[in-house]
Amino acid sequence: MRVVLLQLPIQGHDFFFSRENIPLAAAYLKTIGVQEGIEVELVPRSLMSYGSDQAILRFLLDARPDMVGMSCYLWNVDRSLFLARQLKCQLPECTIVLGGPEMTLDNEYVLRSQGFDIGVIGEGESVWRTLLQSYPHVPEVPGLLSRGEDGRLYSAGKDRLRHGTLEHWPSPFLSGALDPHLDGVLWLETVRGCVHRCAYCYYHKQSPTLRSFPLDRILEEIRRALGRGLKEIVFLDPCFTKRPGLEVLLDRLGTINADGRLHFSAECNVEDIDPAMAKRMGKAGFTDLEVGLQSIKASTLRRVHRRFRPERFLNGVRSLQENGVKVMVDIIAGLPGDTLPDIRRSIDWVVEHEAYDFLMLYPLSLLPATELRQRAQELGLGAMPHPPYLVTRGPGLSAREISAAFHYYEECMEEDISPLETPPGLGGRSEGSTFPEGLRHTLRWHTPEQVKRLSPYRERTAYALTVSMAGEVLRQPSLWVPVLKDYLNSSPFSLLSAEVPPGVFPESLEPLWQLARERRHPTDFDYTVTHTPYRSFLVFSRSRGLLWKWPDPRESDRMVLSDGQEVSFHPVCLVAAPQKKLPPWFRDHIAERYPSPPEIRIWEPPDDRP
CATH of the domain at 398: 3.20.20.70
Q: How many percent of the chain have pLDDT more than 90?
A: 87
Residue 174 is assigned to a structural domain of this protein: no
Q: Give tens-digit pLDDT for 97-113.
A: 999 999 999 999 999 99
Are 289 and 192 in a shared domain?
yes
Are 229 and 93 in a shared domain?
no
Dihedral class, residue 549 (left if φ above 0, else alpha if ψ from -120 to 50, else beta) = beta
Residue 609 is assigned to a structural domain of this protein: no
Reduced to 3 DSSP states, what percent helix, strand and coil does the chain have, rounded to the nearest 5? 40, 20, 40
Strand partners, 361: 331
User: Does position 371 have pLDDT exceeding 60, yes or no?
Assistant: yes
Dist CA 377 CA 130 (whole Å)? 38
Dist CA 467 CA 426 (whole Å)? 10
pLDDT of the residue at 435: 80
Q: What is the domain-level CATH number for residue 151?
A: 3.40.50.2300
Q: How far is CA 245 from the centre of its chain?
A: 31
What's the domain range around 314? 184-413
Tell me the residue type at 606: P
User: Does position 339 have pLDDT exceeding 80, yes or no?
Assistant: yes
Are 12 and 39 in a shared domain?
yes
Residue 238 is assigned to a structural domain of this protein: yes
Dist CA 344 CA 367 (whole Å)? 24
Dist CA 85 CA 73 (whole Å)? 17
Are 238 and 335 in a shared domain?
yes
**Is the Cβ–Cβ distance between 161 and 122 less than 8 Å?**
yes
If pLDDT is split at 50, 70 and 90, which confidence band does 344 have?
very high
pLDDT of the residue at 430: 46
Dist CA 210 CA 414 (whole Å)? 40
Query: By mean pLDDT, which of 7-11, 74-78, 87-91, 180-184 is the weakest?
Result: 180-184
Domain end position, chosen among 155, 175, 203:
155
Average pLDDT, the chain: 94
pLDDT of the residue at 438: 81
Residue 176 is assigned to a structural domain of this protein: no
Measure CA of the first residue to CA of the last residue in the chain; give whole Å. 39
pLDDT of the residue at 182: 94
3-class state of residue 253 by DSSP: helix
Q: Which residue has the higher pLDDT, 415 or 427?
A: 415
User: Does position 175 have pLDDT exceeding 90, yes or no?
Assistant: yes
3-class state of residue 331 by DSSP: strand
Mean pLDDT of 497-513: 97
Are 319 and 404 in a shared domain?
yes
Are 82 and 214 in a shared domain?
no
Are 405 and 431 in a shared domain?
no
**Is the Cβ–Cβ distance between 423 and 605 less than 8 Å?**
no
Three-state DSSP string of 101-127: CCCCCCCHHHHCCCCCCEEECCCCHHH
Are 345 and 370 in a shared domain?
yes
Dist CA 110 CA 78 (whole Å)? 9
User: Does position 286 have pLDDT exceeding 60, yes or no?
Assistant: yes
Residue 171 is assigned to a structural domain of this protein: no
Domain end position, chosen among 413, 441, 469:
413
> How many domains does the chain divide into?
3
User: Does position 336 have pLDDT exceeding 60, yes or no?
Assistant: yes
Query: pTM here?
Result: 0.95
Tell me the residue type at 589: H
Are 519 and 571 in a shared domain?
yes
Query: By mean pLDDT, which of 56-65, 202-211, 345-354, 452-461 is the weakest?
Result: 452-461
Are 278 and 398 in a shared domain?
yes
Mean pLDDT of 209-217: 94
User: Does position 428 have pLDDT exceeding 90, yes or no?
Assistant: no
User: Does position 610 have pLDDT exceeding 50, yes or no?
Assistant: no
**Is the Cβ–Cβ distance between 447 and 476 less than 8 Å?**
no
**Is the Cβ–Cβ distance between 420 and 16 less than 8 Å?**
no
Q: Which ranges in 16-124 belong to alpha helices (H)? A: 24-35, 45-50, 53-63, 77-90, 108-111
Residue 193 CB partners (closer than 8 Å, separation 6+) = 163, 204, 207, 208, 209, 210, 211
Domain end position, chosen among 348, 379, 413:
413
Ordered DSSP codes for 155-213: ES-SSPPPP--STTSPPTTTTTTTGGG-SSEEEE-SEE--S---TT-SHHHH--S-EE-
| Burial call 563-588: b when 16+ CB within 10 Å, e when fewer | eebebebebbbbbbbeeeeeeeebee
Residue 307 burial (10 A CB sphere; 0-12, 13-18, 19+): exposed
Dist CA 287 CA 324 (whole Å)? 7
Q: How far is CA 576 from the centre of its chain?
A: 25
Dist CA 199 CA 373 (whole Å)? 9
Nearest CA among 359, 376, 496 for reference residue 53:
496
Q: How many percent of the chain have pLDDT more than 70?
A: 96
- Strand arrangement of the beta sheet that strand 286-294 belongs to: 185-188, 232-235, 263-268, 286-294, 326-333, 358-363
Q: Give tens-digit pLDDT for 121-170.
A: 989 999 999 999 999 999 989 899 998 888 888 886 655 567 778 898 99
pLDDT of the residue at 35: 94
- Our separate counts of H helices and E strands in the chain read 21, 26
Are 133 and 77 in a shared domain?
yes
Residue 292 exposure: Cα atoms within 13 Å on the Cβ side: 22
Residue 332 is assigned to a structural domain of this protein: yes
Mean pLDDT of 201-222: 90
Q: Say how many C-beta atoms besides its own lie within 10 A of residue 177's C-beta.
A: 26
Dist CA 57 CA 459 (whole Å)? 8
Residue 419 is assigned to a structural domain of this protein: no
User: Does position 457 have pLDDT exceeding 80, yes or no?
Assistant: no
Mean pLDDT of 205-220: 89
Dist CA 174 CA 178 (whole Å)? 9
User: Does position 455 have pLDDT exceeding 70, yes or no?
Assistant: no
Mean pLDDT of 250-273: 97
pLDDT of the residue at 370: 96
If pLDDT is split at 50, 70 and 90, which confidence band does 609 have?
very low
Q: Give tens-digit pLDDT for 12-45.
A: 999 999 999 999 999 999 999 999 999 999 999 9
**Is the Cβ–Cβ distance between 428 and 422 less than 8 Å?**
yes
Residue 270 is assigned to a structural domain of this protein: yes
Peptide bond before residue 436 is cis, with ω within 30 degrees of 0: no
Are 211 and 297 in a shared domain?
yes
